[in-house]
Amino acid sequence: MNTDWSVIATFMPQLLNGAKMTLFITLVGLSGGMVVGAIAGLMRTYGNWLLNYTAMIYIEVIRGTPIVVQVMFLYFALPVLASIRIDPLTAAMIAIIVNAGAYIAEIVRGSLQSISRGLAEAGLALGLPRWKVLVHIVGPLAFRRLIPPLGNQFIISLKDTSLFIVIGVSELTRTGQEIMAANFRAVEIWSAIAVMYLIMTGSLTLMLRYIERRMKIL
């Protein structure tokens, strides 16, 4: 077997563009996912039965179906059902938002519920309104416990973007496949792509370690 590692350099600009697209989808997806997750998580934890059940159904539907099916639904089924036509990139971003949102909701709920009831009661007993108890007591404590599982979800979502190959978004994995189709340098190209994913997830891990170390879990 002869390998020619110089092809990596040749295709580096394309690969970097793919990586940029991967990062972009991840960033937009997770930002949205955190907003959706925070709202759904609060609905699950503090909502009345209607809000609680609405959030629960959303979470169970998303957790119970593969993300590939979700993005296929967005991209192929939605135009048929509701004549909403979206481009692959938008479908990819929405898929991450909706998918990560469901998992983050459960993370948020778990963190909030892990904070001892007594602390909230101490705040209420001082005469604080409920929202202030959440903002000043329960929230900051829950946030510290949120970070490790949230970091996990970030890494999962980043890797999930590779599944959007099925709708032809030109993220890193899709880019690799296109290069492959032209020159068949499987070993070199897939090695390079694996390393690029590792660099991205590794940086995320380091960043989270740093934040975790700065914030004691109480």
For 62-98, b where at least 16 C-beta lie within 10 A, e where not — what string? Answer: beeeebeebbbebbeebeeeeeeeeebbebbbbbbbb
Looking at the Cβ atoms of 9 and 122, the one nearer to other proteins is 122
Looking at the Cβ atoms of 130 and 209, the one nearer to other proteins is 130
Looking at the Cβ atoms of 55 and 142, the one nearer to other proteins is 142
Rounded distance, CA 170 to CA 174, Å?
5
Return the HEC string of 190-213: HHHHHHHHHHHHHHHHHHHHHHHH
Q: Which residues in 70-129 contact other proteins (CB under 8 A)?
A: 116, 118-119, 121-129
DSSP secondary structure, 77-119, as one string: IHHHHH-----HHHHHHHHHHHHHHHHHHHHHHHHHHHS-HHH
Number of residues that bind other proteins (CB under 8 A): 18
Looking at the Cβ atoms of 6 and 116, the one nearer to other proteins is 116
Binding string to other proteins for residues 129 to 168, with x set by CB under 8 A, is what? x--x---xx--xx---------------------------
Q: How far is the CB of 46 from other proteins (least distance, A)?
A: 15
Q: Which residues in 159-218 contact other proteins (CB under 8 A)?
A: 218
**What residues line the site for other proteins (CB under 8 A)?**
116, 118-119, 121-129, 132, 136-137, 140-141, 218
